[in-house]
Amino acid sequence: MEKILHTTNGVEFTLSHAFLEFSYLLAAVLFIWGLKLLSHPETARKGNFWAAAGMVLAMITTLFLHEDGNGDRIRLMNVVIIIVTIVFGSIIGLVISKKVKMTAMPELVSFFNATGGAASALVGLLEFGNPANESLLVTLLGLIIGSVAFSGSMIAYGKLSGKIGSLHAGILKYVNFVLMFTVVGITAYILLLPDPQSIPMLVYILFGIALLYGITFVMPIGGADMPVVISLLNSLTGIAAAMAGFIYHNLAMILGGILVGAAGSILTVLMTKAMNRSLMNVIIGGFGGGSGAVSEEGGTVKEVSLSDAAVLLAYSQKIVVVPGYGLAVAQAQHVTHEFEKVLEAKGVQVKFGIHPVAGRMPGHMNVLLAEADVSYDKLVEMEEINKEMNSTDVVIVIGANDVVNPAANETPGSPIYGMPVINAVEAKNVIVMKRGMGKGYAGIENPLFFKDNTRMLFGNAKDSLQKLVNEINTL
């Protein structure tokens, strides 16, 4: 018989229980320390390691020390099943992560996030009819939020991987309002019932409507706005995990979920500000799906040869590189770093202008360039790099479109009007690297391409950069 340390409100606390609670506190410290290290590319890997170590600690102690209300431990057979499942899932995750390309990282994040939402939703479904469950409201909230995170993340995965297109039907805004009010109404009705478990079908209806809302709110969202949606869905998964933690009185789940939910929520707010959008527009699904009138400037684009571009770059004093999703598609991050080093050897100052929503997920460009060992202090945020545009000799736009589109400042009818962008148009010279004259992910024309100070360098970004490196080396 294990020694009882003390008794509170009829609950006996043993040494095992004390050790379990301490392990949760230590896991929370490791989560926070991991998040702190994730704030800088040089320490991000260590941050992932320490946060993962905290989760492993919490899982091990829960498996072997957790007790139910009767003081019973998890049965050995259940422990074996759980461990086998964890090992099987870990192997799958390891294989997927090893094979995935950096260009597919956004959809991988969405897919993994969907699994977290699904787990939380299933917890809500399983615990709804459990007589020992003391918190019906928390159970329903976990079910709803987890369901929305799951279906929304799966749609985001499909859109990012090109398997699902956008649906810009204006009626979806009203459908989303109806679905939201229906979810709230059913939830309130269940809470007011004297015996909610007597009508189990209601919770399945709620589950289905929440899944449908996750689909309808993500479907109309434009591709250029997807980073904000991914951030929002990540925060929802964290909140749902915290709800599951409350159901099971598991402090590690509660703290981990709160940290993910809080970090994701803060990032979502920052991203919406960067896009000059309303968070409510994200929630109702009217975000980025507009198709306002755009005055297309048109005109004639001017191309630049590799030799002319190399001369212009080699004899410049200050160059700003603006990366976009095209850089990721071409897997040109390493040759971009080589391009940077060659220019610096010529005495040219090189910086990277990073738009907060460039790419397909928050920090996408930072991740790519950090992978190529580009120094973090050369990655300059949009607000700061815009202050230097007037003194910049050349801006190199690599695969970016919407984040340098001057229509955001000049064309009131544009869908992106008012969105903060990198003001590449203010530089003395602009070289745009693109495969062709196709529109960006937002599907609108970019007047920058027709400006007098802009030259186009068509071709695969990786090949073009390598040729530029060779040309500059011969000067």
Active-site residue list: 402
Pairing of strands 454-458, 11-14: unpaired
How far apart are the C-alpha atoms of 424 and 404, rounded to whole Å? 6
What amino acid is encoded at 88 in this protein? F
What count of residues does the chain have?
475
Helix-, strand-, coil-residue percentages of the chain, each rounded to 5? 60, 10, 30
How far apart are the C-alpha atoms of 233 and 150, rounded to whole Å? 8
Nearest CA to 385 out of 429, 418, 409, 421 is that of 421
318's enclosing H/E stretch is strand 318-323
How far, rounded to the nearest angstrom, does the alpha carbon of residue 155 sit from its chain's CA centroid? 14
How far apart are the C-alpha atoms of 349 and 335, rounded to whole Å? 17
Q: State phi, psi for 103 to the nearest 5 degrees.
A: -65, -25
* Helix residue ranges, H only, 161-225: 171-192, 201-218
Task: Return the DSSP state at 458.
Answer: E
24's enclosing H/E stretch is helix 15-37
- Give, in order, the Cα–Cα distances in Å from 342 to each of 307, 337, 351: 15, 9, 13
